[in-house]
């Protein structure tokens, strides 16, 4: 009996040494085939790591609505570039920020006119590159077009068609821009536009997510279901974080517009 117990105690160590010997045998592959064997080991190691991550995430997420996933991009670079997916989602967020900045301002400062695009015979230019913009009073802004007098008419047209409900008046090379008093109704209208812009951006975000998941599913026959599951979870998590950032931008913009 004692002898049997000693044998059982030694069994794990023997198994470990046996596995190590097999591994060393794979690494010392016959001449002419080392690359193939080592590649097989690398893929096997990656799969083991992903499976371990899957088990960990499922265990941690048990009883929770969302499980945090963080896959090493290097392990799945042959399937999809998570960095490119992240950049595409960030680009949607930046476009929303730009829209908020350019088109959803309470018209009380010259900066509201800065990025209006003027079409000239030499191409498109921001208004602030063609004229000097200043504020004469809370209800009047002036655009001095002395440096580019030939673009005065085009600048006035751009201001009129900017969607900011402005009606500029041209006096030589000076454009007078009366600024209507900002009513509560106008503020609420801008807040609704901000909500609409956010919804459009979320739709663009969903397209990025769907495109990425479609790319992952192309590899269903080449990689395990666990790997596909992890990647889909990671992409969805990235999309959720981007949508949350958009919600924060909308909340801040709404507060700014409604005062």
Of the pLDDT bands very low, low, confident and very high (cuts 50, 70, 90), residue 156 is: very high
User: Please, are residues 160 and 127 in contact by the beta-carbon 8 Å criterion?
Assistant: no
pLDDT computed for residue 105 by the predictor: 74
What is the value of pTM for the model shown? Answer: 0.61
Q: How far is CA 181 from CA 77, 106, 120, 126, 163, in A?
A: 55, 10, 31, 25, 16
Q: How far apart are CA 257 and CA 140, in angstroms?
A: 20
Task: Give the span between the Cα atoms of 107 and 138, in whole angstroms.
Answer: 9
- Three state DSSP letters for 72-112: CHHHHCCCCCHHHHHHHHHHHHHHHHHHHHHHCCCCCCHHH
Q: Does 148 have pLDDT greater than 50?
A: yes
For the chain, domains (ranges, CATH) are 73-104+183-258 (1.10.132.20), 110-178 (3.30.1360.40)
pLDDT at 48: 45
- What tens digit of pLDDT does each residue of 157-215 get? 999 988 777 899 999 999 999 988 878 888 898 899 999 999 999 999 999 999 999 99
**Tokens representing 206?**
């969903």
Give the containing element (helix H, strand E) for 192: helix 184-217
Mean pLDDT across the stretch 148-154? 95
Residue 80 has pLDDT above 80, yes or no: yes
> pLDDT digits over 20-49, tens only?
444 444 344 445 444 443 344 444 444 444
Give the mean model confidence (pLDDT) for residues 126-150.
92
pLDDT value for 242: 97
Q: Is the pLDDT of residue 231 over 70?
A: yes
Which pLDDT band, with edges at 50, 70 and 90, does 19 fall under? very low
What is d(CA 195, CA 247) in angstroms, rounded to the nearest whole number? 9
Q: Count Cα neighbours of 221 within 13 Å in the Cβ-side half-sphere.
A: 1
Q: Is it the case that residue 4 has pLDDT exceeding 70?
A: no
- Average model confidence (pLDDT) across the chain: 78
Q: What is the pLDDT of residue 241?
A: 96
Q: pLDDT value at position 73?
A: 66
pLDDT above 70 covers what percent of the chain?
70
121-135 mean pLDDT: 92
Q: Give, in degrees to the nearest 5, the angle at Cα 239 between 237 and 244.
A: 95
Range 130-147 average pLDDT: 92
């Amino acid at each position: 009996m004692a002898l049997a117990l000693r044998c059982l105690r030694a069994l794990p160590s023997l198994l470990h040494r046996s596995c190590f010997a097999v591994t060393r045998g794979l690494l010392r592959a016959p001449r002419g085939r080392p690359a193939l064997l080592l590649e097989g080991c690398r893929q096997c190691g990656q799969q083991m790591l992903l499976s371990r991550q899957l088990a960990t995430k499922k265990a941690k997420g048990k009883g929770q609505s969302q499980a945090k996933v963080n896959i090493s991009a290097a392990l799945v670079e042959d399937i999809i570039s998570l960095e490119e997916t992240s950049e595409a989602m960030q680009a949607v967020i930046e476009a929303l920020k730009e829209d908020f900045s350019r088109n959803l301002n309470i018209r009380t400062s010259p900066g509201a006119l800065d990025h209006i695009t003027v079409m000239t015979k030499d191409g498109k230019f921001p208004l602030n590159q063609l004229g000097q913009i200043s504020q004469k009073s809370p209800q009047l802004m002036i655009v001095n077009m002395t440096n580019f007098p030939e673009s005065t008419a085009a600048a006035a047209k751009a201001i009129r068609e900017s969607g900011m409900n402005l009606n500029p008046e041209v006096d030589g090379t000076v454009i007078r821009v009366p600024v209507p008093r900002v009513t509560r109704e106008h503020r609420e209208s801008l807040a609704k536009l901000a909500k609409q812009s956010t919804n459009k951006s979320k739709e663009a975000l969903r397209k990025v997510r769907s495109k990425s998941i479609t790319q992952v599913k192309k590899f269903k026959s080449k990689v395990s279901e666990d790997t596909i599951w992890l990647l889909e979870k990671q992409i969805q998590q990235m999309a959720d974080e981007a949508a949350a950032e958009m919600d924060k931008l909308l909340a801040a913009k709404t507060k700014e517009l409604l005062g």
